[in-house]
Amino acid sequence: MPTINAQRIPPRIPVGLVGVTGYTGMELTRILAGHPGLELVRATSRSEAGRTLAELYPYLSGPGDLGRMGALTVTQPDPADLASACQLVFLAVPHKTAQEIAAKLIALGVKVVDLSADFRLRDKATYEHWYATPHTEPSLLAEAVYGLPELYRAQMATARLIANPGCYPTSSILGLAPALESGLIHTDDIVIDAKSGTSGAGRKAGVGTLFCEVSDTFRAYNLTKHRHTPEIEQEVSLLAGAAPGKGIALSFNTHLLPISRGILSTIYTRLSKPMSLKDVHAVYAERYKDEPLVRVLPLGALPETRWVRGTMFCDIGLCVDERLGRLIILSAIDNLCRGASGQAVLGANLMLGLPETQGLPTAPLMP
Q: Are residues 193 and 54 in the same domain?
A: no
Average pLDDT over residues 305-314: 97
Residue 351 lies in a domain: no
Q: Are residues 43 and 129 in the same domain?
A: yes
Catalytically active residues, by annotation: 167
Residue 157 lies in a domain: no
At residue 166 the predicted structure's pLDDT band, cuts being 50, 70 and 90, is very high
**CATH classification at residue 51:** 3.40.50.720
Q: Are residues 97 and 204 in the same domain?
A: no
253 bridge partner residues: 193
Average pLDDT of the chain?
95
For 239-287, how does the pLDDT look when each residue is reduced to its tens digit (9 = 90+)? 999 987 889 999 999 999 999 999 999 999 999 999 999 999 999 999 9
Q: Are residues 266 and 176 in the same domain?
A: yes
Among 106, 128, 143, the domain-final residue is 143
Report the range of poorest mean pLDDT among 5-9, 215-219, 267-271, 299-303.
Answer: 5-9
**CATH classification at residue 309:** 3.30.360.10
What's residue 357's pLDDT?
97
Q: Specify the number of domains making up the chain.
A: 2
What's residue 8's pLDDT?
60
Q: Are residues 186 and 321 in the same domain?
A: yes
What's residue 146's pLDDT?
98
Q: Are residues 122 and 213 in the same domain?
A: no
Average pLDDT over residues 175-200: 96
Residue 366 lies in a domain: no
C-alpha gyration radius of the chain: 21
Q: Are residues 136 and 96 in the same domain?
A: yes
What's residue 80's pLDDT?
98
Indicate the burial class of 199 (C-beta count within 10 angstroms; 0-12, 13-18, 19 or more). Answer: buried
Residue 360 lies in a domain: no
Q: Are residues 125 and 177 in the same domain?
A: no
Q: Are residues 201 and 260 in the same domain?
A: yes
Rounded to whole angstroms, the Cα distance separating 91 from 113 reads: 6
Q: In degrees, to the nearest 5, what angle opens at C-alpha 15 toward C-alphas 114 and 45?
A: 65
pTM of the model as a whole: 0.95
Q: Are residues 179 and 303 in the same domain?
A: yes
DSSP 271: B
Is the pLDDT reported for residue 162 higher than 70?
yes
Among 104, 128, 143, the domain-final residue is 143
Is the pLDDT reported for residue 200 higher than 90?
no
Residue 136 lies in a domain: yes
Is the pLDDT reported for residue 4 higher than 70?
no
* Residue spans of alpha helices (H) in the chain: 23-32, 53-56, 64-70, 79-85, 97-107, 124-131, 138-143, 149-157, 167-181, 211-214, 229-239, 277-287, 342-351
Is the pLDDT reported for residue 2 higher than 80?
no
Residue 192 lies in a domain: yes
At residue 9 the predicted structure's pLDDT band, cuts being 50, 70 and 90, is low
Rounded to whole angstroms, the Cα distance separating 306 from 238 reads: 31
Residue 187, domain extent: 168-335
Is the pLDDT reported for residue 5 higher than 70?
no
Residue 121 lies in a domain: yes
Q: Are residues 182 and 301 in the same domain?
A: yes
What's residue 7's pLDDT?
56
Residue 243 lies in a domain: yes
Region for 202 from its dihedrals, namely left if φ exceeds 0, alpha if ψ lies in -120 to 50, beta otherwise: left
At residue 201 the predicted structure's pLDDT band, cuts being 50, 70 and 90, is confident
Q: Are residues 133 and 180 in the same domain?
A: no
